[in-house]
Structure 1
Amino acid sequence: METTGERWIGRTEALGRLGVKAQTLYAYVSRGRIAARPDPADPRRSLYAARDIARLTGDLIETDEAPRVMERGPAGRGEADLASSVSVIASGRLFYRGLDAVQLSATATLEDVARTLWASRAANPFAEIRPRVGVTPGGSARARLFAALARRADEDADTPARDPEALRVECARVLDEAVDAVAGPGPRLFLHQRLARFWKAPERDAQLIRRALVLSADAGMDAAVIATRAVAAGGASPAAAALAGLTVAAACRTVTELSCASGWINAVRRHPAEATRDLDRAGFGDPDWNDADPRAQALLAAADLPADLLRVLRDGQAAAGPPPGFALALATAARRMELPRDGAQDIYLVGRLAGLLAHALDQSLDGSPIRARLRYVGPEPGAH
């Protein structure tokens, strides 16, 4: 079927061309990598852009010099339609408000990237932040992080409407207090330096932590972003919206993969002959990326891995095929720095917090209404 020069194909043909399961096709659509629209002949079914599928399978060569941002049609039935200017994956690269995330990670701090994601050009929202005294929640680093967010969400619940700059300062306070909750009070260093100080990491490792935080900030649309934007659209404060999103992120695929990858690395370092075991849980490859996740490549290139970790990744990739995904790269970097067991997950969640606050701001200041259809499929009302 041809429409304005675009050819659309059905699900069966799309799955056949891609050679994937239906769940992977739906993941491509939800992340904007394949455009989809309702079938005019049967709105209960979807059609998929043949050009996008050809690009994923390598049948179509990209000739545009600039990275191509996926254009999507209107949401189909049961889909939420969200507009975002925070980040996008285009031509195999991740961009934060149009800037290459990997290039930013070479020198930028998490504060720099937060300002970029929050569109804070006129002023530095972190300049007005002062340490909060007398608040030291207990428990694990993750428990302290969520306790700090919950406290801010409660305190900000009745705050009157704020202008955009005031909201950005509020986001800076949330991120600053979250890092203090994880790392404890101390000198007012950069966020990555405070985490490194807490973990007693040397300066070279502080730079690796900085890079990992930057690369963790955002990666397009996922359930955590949807949760954040839905709460922000309801009028909640940035802290409350980010708390909702981070709760989802803490249970997401990446965090699960971080835990599995860490366990796999530890096991293989003890017994190198087992490098080919449990590869499905090790974190090689990622359905969200055609070839290799550039974040993983950048992080591993900067990690200065010792010979045994290099061997673990080399042998694992030789057996698995695809290169390491971002979760495996982050878990490997954490092992190289000898961080605590959940150190990689803590880095990921703190980095994600900066991005989720960006989505809360974006939705509150510029977001279009979120429209989704809830279709009831339960028992017939009144049935016994």
Structure 2
Amino acid sequence: MTRDDALATLNVRSQTLYAYVSRKLIERRPDPGDPRLSLYRGDDILALAQRRARGRRQSAVAASALAWGEPVIPTAIATVRHGDLIYRDRAATELAEHMGLEEAAALLWEQPDAIIFPKASAGNDAFQSLAALTMGARSLVGRRAEKLFNEGAQCVATMAAAFGAIGTGPVHRRLAAAWSLNANGEESVRRALVLLADHELNPSTFATRVAASTGAAMPACILAGLATLSGPKHGGAEAALESFLLEASSVGADTAIERWLARGHGLPGFGHQLYPYGDPRARSLLANIQPDAELATLRDAVADGLGLQPNIDFALLAITRLHTLPPRSGFALFAIARSVGWVAHALEQAATGAVIRPRARYQGKTD
């Protein structure tokens, strides 16, 4: 935004705007068109305006924190900053150019060497496989770090095996072997696993941290994350996008868009609250593949009509269709990769020793 736009949006004087800049609440850069002028980052200004509009009453801040609002839990693992996904101060999209899930796990778990995930055998149900690991598993409290890392690696390996991964070696190669992928397919899976490894304090990660805060065993913490991920508004978005695409292929993209918007569902596979300028994870994956004709038609129609860009769910479905992956493979990639982040958050939360226990705002009769 220009200076005048920023002042109008915030409804403040110039001195206040400069104070926000000096406190690093708003990023300022020289205007490429006129170095004598400055431009101010719109994301920062809009976020600040929303905070000011809500007021600073404790109850208002606490309530807003539960829905894309104020940060509530300190973490050094990951964040979304200025439209980029960051893993421990490094852009996830850059890491995905060369890392595997094993190196990403080492970074998120703060280990010097790539994590070696053991060979695991599991049934075809991830919930049952993780539940079996919880039997006899010990609490996170008072345990040696090495033991917890080993348990975390076992959870990730079990998750991968439950979704079909076979053999040993890097997880993307285990999946490639199970899904009979060529080199391009294997590369897409590798990249996707790194980009999905963490996403700050999303619902499944929050559930994992709540479980870890009670001292639950590592497999139980990962099971809490998986249960939350299974919801249709989180990791289950793949099914909604497939339904949207099927309808678009049947009645036309424009008609399908109108119908989905009229139902109040939003458009699965497009847009993201944290990425107003487009999901960088999707850009990274789609830069290396070409969506099929049906997906491309839907993408173009949404972009033309609403200006929304594909998100990670769209990119995963594009990979699934291009490489003929098994049903629900998008969810499988999500769950396997995100289990690495869940382990990191369980470790970080357990180290604090604090129990996550928010209060409810009672709305019944009080007399």
Amino acid at match of 2:252: E
**Which residue in the other structure is 1:56 paired with?**
none
Q: 1:104: Cα distance to partner?
A: 0.9
Amino acid at match of 1:320: L
Give ranges in structure 2 of 5+ residues lacking alignment. 1-11, 22-45, 258-265
1:257 to 198, 218, 237: 237
- Give 3-state SS (helix, strand or coil) of 1:253's partner: coil
**Which residue in the other structure is 1:60 paired with?**
none
Between the aligned partners of 1:80 and 1:227, the Cα distance in structure 2 is: 16
- Give 3-state SS (helix, strand or coil) of 1:276's partner: helix
**CA distances 1:130-154 after superposition (whole Å, capped 9, x unpaired):** 434xx5424xxxxx11222111222
**CA distances 1:162-199 after superposition (whole Å, capped 9, x unpaired):** 21222112111111122112215x43131111112222
- Give 3-state SS (helix, strand or coil) of 1:239's partner: helix
- Is structure 2 residue 81 aligned with structure 1 residue 105? no
Between the aligned partners of 1:36 and 1:86, the Cα distance in structure 2 is: 28
Between the aligned partners of 1:105 and 1:345, the Cα distance in structure 2 is: 19
**Which residue in the other structure is 1:193 paired with?**
173
- Give 3-state SS (helix, strand or coil) of 1:94's partner: strand
Contact between 1:80 and 1:371, CA under 8 Å: does it hold in 2? Answer: no
2:199 to 211, 219, 229: 219
Alignment of 1:1-384 (within 5 A): 5=19, 39=55, 43-46=58-61, 81-121=72-112, 123-126=113-116, 130-132=118-120, 135-138=121-124, 144-157=125-138, 161-183=142-164, 186-251=166-231, 253-268=233-248, 270-271=249-250, 274-279=252-257, 280-306=266-292, 309-366=295-352, 368-378=354-364
Amino acid at match of 2:301: D
Q: Which moved more, 1:365-374 or 1:188-197?
A: 365-374
CA RMSD of aligned residues (A): 3.4
Contact between 1:37 and 1:46, CA under 8 Å: does it hold in 2? Answer: no
Contact between 1:284 and 1:317, CA under 8 Å: does it hold in 2? Answer: no
Contact between 1:81 and 1:370, CA under 8 Å: does it hold in 2? Answer: no
Between the aligned partners of 1:161 and 1:252, the Cα distance in structure 2 is: 36
Q: 1:155: Cα distance to partner?
A: 3.3
Q: 1:80: Cα distance to partner?
A: 8.8
- Give 3-state SS (helix, strand or coil) of 1:120's partner: coil
Residue correspondences, number: 318
Q: 1:103: Cα distance to partner?
A: 0.8
Between the aligned partners of 1:36 and 1:191, the Cα distance in structure 2 is: 45
Between the aligned partners of 1:33 and 1:255, the Cα distance in structure 2 is: 31
**CA distances 1:254-296 after superposition (whole Å, capped 9, x unpaired):** 434321212333454x55x612233343422222212111111
TM-score (norm 2): 0.75
Contact between 1:82 and 1:370, CA under 8 Å: does it hold in 2? Answer: no
**CA distances 1:28-76 after superposition (whole Å, capped 9, x unpaired):** 98xx996579856x554459xxxxxxxxxxxxxxxxxxxxxxxx9x99x
- Give 3-state SS (helix, strand or coil) of 2:308's partner: coil
Change (3 A) 1:125 1:307: closer
Change (3 A) 1:84 1:160: closer
Give ranges in structure 1 of 5+ residues lacking alignment. 8-27, 48-71, 139-143
**Shift >6 Å, 4+ stretches:** 1-4
Between the aligned partners of 1:203 and 1:175, the Cα distance in structure 2 is: 23
Contact between 1:232 and 1:241, CA under 8 Å: does it hold in 2? Answer: yes
Change (3 A) 1:152 1:277: farther
Change (3 A) 1:290 1:200: same
Percent identity over paired residues: 25
Q: 1:316: Cα distance to partner?
A: 3.4
- Give 3-state SS (helix, strand or coil) of 2:80's partner: strand
Amino acid at match of 2:200: G
Q: 1:159: Cα distance to partner?
A: 8.1
TM-score (norm 1): 0.72
Between the aligned partners of 1:159 and 1:96, the Cα distance in structure 2 is: 24
Change (3 A) 1:357 1:243: same
- Give 3-state SS (helix, strand or coil) of 2:189's partner: helix
Contact between 2:85 and 2:199, CA under 8 Å: does it hold in 1? Answer: yes
Contact between 1:264 and 1:278, CA under 8 Å: does it hold in 2? Answer: yes
